[in-house]
Amino acid sequence: MPTENPLDRWIAVQLGSSTKLTRDMLVEHQLRCLRETVSWARAKSPFYRRALSNINPEQLTRMADLQSLPFTTAEDLRRNSPPLVCVSQSEISRVVTLETSGTSGEAKRLFFTLDEQESTIDFFQHGISLLAKPGDRVLILFPCERPGSIGQLLATALRRLKAIPISAGPVRDVEATLTLMAQQRPTVVAGTPIQVRALARCTTQSLGALLQIHSVLLSADHAAQCVREDIRQAWGSEVFEHYGMTEMGLGGGVDCAAHQGYHLREADLLFEIIDPVSGQQLPAGQSGEVVVTTLTRRGMPLIRYRTGDLSRLITEPCVCGSVLHRLEQIERRTCSEVTLSPGNALSMAALDEALFSREDITDFRVTLHRATPNQLHIELAHIPLAAPEIETLLSLTHCTLAEMPVIRNACSQSGLQVRLSVTPSPLCTTSAKRFIRVE
């Protein structure tokens, strides 16, 4: 285990220090940047000019003072009235539109300057050095086509690390991607958990003997424990996870070889945990909703943005030597749950843990049809199976679902109907975020 995490060294340089990073250095930097960000946003953004009208930035001298600031929500981003952007359109280099995960609603639009994208590249370069080294061939399974996309930013970061990016993009055809892997021989794979697991589960014994993938980086969606374990066993790889969202500028935190939480990008982002119901800030170590404040963004800063992710902050030093705070693996998202019956909420994370315990299931798509009674339709993708094996798969999956308390209770209370079907493809969708569609 290294004596100093490369992210610590990188952040110390960002703070203008030639000495080892300390918490005192970080807190001083964060509070100064917080005051500057609040002053900037209040002066330049019509939205924050109104939201922060009663705030004196100079009085933000302690972390506890964060609670005096109002939250920014996903609805604020969708509405964008008044606008949140702080600079002219000519200074914006990248606009990202995030469609809602439901059946209706306005999309969220995020705006970034060239400097802000450069900062993300810098984070990617130092973060991925925890699992990749110069000369590694890195298969990128994130969107790569558009300038400023996560795949392009990661490819640039890898070149600076003197690694070799293989920009494949999201997996649309498992067999085609496996053929590409046989040709390109990646040593590192970076992609979404379900797509990477589908590749791992469909890897033949001969291809597995050919590949030498020592590390895998999972990002963009929840990675169930059984998903991580399947990848480890199939490829003999060490599995790392990255936490981030577009609202954070794509990069938020990454775990080290200790795999005890995401080391956070604390020079650029300030994290706190709140009670999702009361909105009150919670002490370190308690689980709640993750709230993030951007500290160095000028195009579209976000102040106390409620992510909807549920986790807890780990403040104890990591065994890798880092003083950066860590975020425990995201438990679930508040907006990824649907109510099946009173008191019974179902999440994708719970379904992942239940269904991916079966090695033959590679993906699934869920739709809740609101009716009397409600109907839960789950479409299963699987490894190649004969017809009798598919019937067995459906039967066993029905049993697995029936054992989930939330589904069992909903069936008993409100007559919820569960319907299963199969798709011939090993993947149901190429999108990064998976959710329960409600119709």
Domains of the chain: 6-117+264-330 (3.40.50.12780), 131-243 (3.40.50.980), 335-438 (3.30.300.30)
User: Two tokens at 323?
Assistant: 């003083």
Rounded to an integer, what distance in angstroms lies between the CA atom of residue 242 and that of residue 195?
A: 15
Q: What pLDDT was estimated at residue 284?
A: 86
Q: What pLDDT was estimated at residue 103?
A: 39
The candidate with the shortest Cα–Cα distance to 363, out of 423, 438, 437, 436, is 423
Q: What pLDDT was estimated at residue 222?
A: 85
The candidate with the shortest Cα–Cα distance to 296, out of 53, 115, 149, 95, is 115
Q: What pLDDT was estimated at residue 102?
A: 44
Rounded to an integer, what distance in angstroms lies between the CA atom of residue 43 and that of residue 281?
A: 26
CA atoms within 13 A on the CB side of 117: 21
Q: What pLDDT was estimated at residue 333?
A: 72
Q: What pLDDT was estimated at residue 120?
A: 96
Q: What pLDDT was estimated at residue 31?
A: 97
Per-residue pLDDT of the chain (439 residues; tens, 9 = 90+): 445 789 999 999 999 888 899 999 999 999 999 999 999 999 999 999 999 999 999 999 999 999 999 999 999 999 998 999 999 999 999 999 886 554 345 788 999 999 999 999 999 999 999 999 999 999 999 999 888 899 999 999 999 999 999 999 999 999 999 999 999 999 999 999 999 999 999 998 889 889 999 999 999 888 989 999 999 999 999 999 999 999 998 999 999 999 999 999 999 999 999 999 999 999 988 999 999 999 999 999 999 999 999 999 999 989 998 999 999 988 777 666 889 999 899 998 899 999 999 889 999 999 999 988 999 999 999 998 899 999 999 999 999 999 999 999 999 999 999 999 999 889 987 766 778 889 8
Q: What pLDDT was estimated at residue 1?
A: 45
pTM of the model: 0.92
